[in-house]
Chains A and B, each alone.
Chain A
Amino acid sequence: NAGVTQTPKFRVLKTGQSMTLLCAQDMNHEYMYWYRQDPGMGLRLIHYSVGEGTTAKGEVPDGYNVSRLKKQNFLLGLESAAPSQTSVYFCASSPPHTGALNTEAFFGQGTRLTVV
């Protein structure tokens, strides 16, 4: 089982360049998320999606855009990369939540992005 797959795994960008991170899940999950992980900051939510065609902002959405054109894919775009966006990016997916409960989130392997 592939689970959640992120591409690429590593990338170095120059300031001002653009790129798209791809997240694909084969578990038919409704919900998908993009997090960034920085030392001492934990995981911070960038954007998330509760279904195909819908997206919403998380805690730190500035400088990022997302799209969920297909249920299994969630794309994270950086239009003009900045050094502050150097981070490890994790995609996750989960089944729909029930009432006050959250469901288990399954994470991809991460993308290590460096902006110079």
Chain B
Amino acid sequence: EDKVVQSPLSLVVHEGDTVTLNCSYEVTNFRSLLWYKQEKKAPTFLFMLTSSGIEKKSGRLSSILDKKELFSILNITATQTGDSAVYLCAVGSDRGAQKLVFGQGTRLTINP
């Protein structure tokens, strides 16, 4: 059975800190790993990673994938209160229409 595990489950930091969120996975016929930010309702797409070792970056957020060790990290530098959210990791496998398997999420709280 495909599995995605995120850690930590919860993280509280001060504004300006840097955080690293972890995602490990076991999936048959891995195709891609996606990161989403979930604030109140819909998961909002952040990154999709398919290749090992290539960092994806968007502003203060960056992510990298290690297909050998089966994990990914999401880094957020100079955190702001608006970064407070649940961050979801999801993995897609090599099928015709991609089913995503989600982790349980990391709840990140940024205190001013």
Indicate, yes or no, whether A interacts with B.
Answer: no
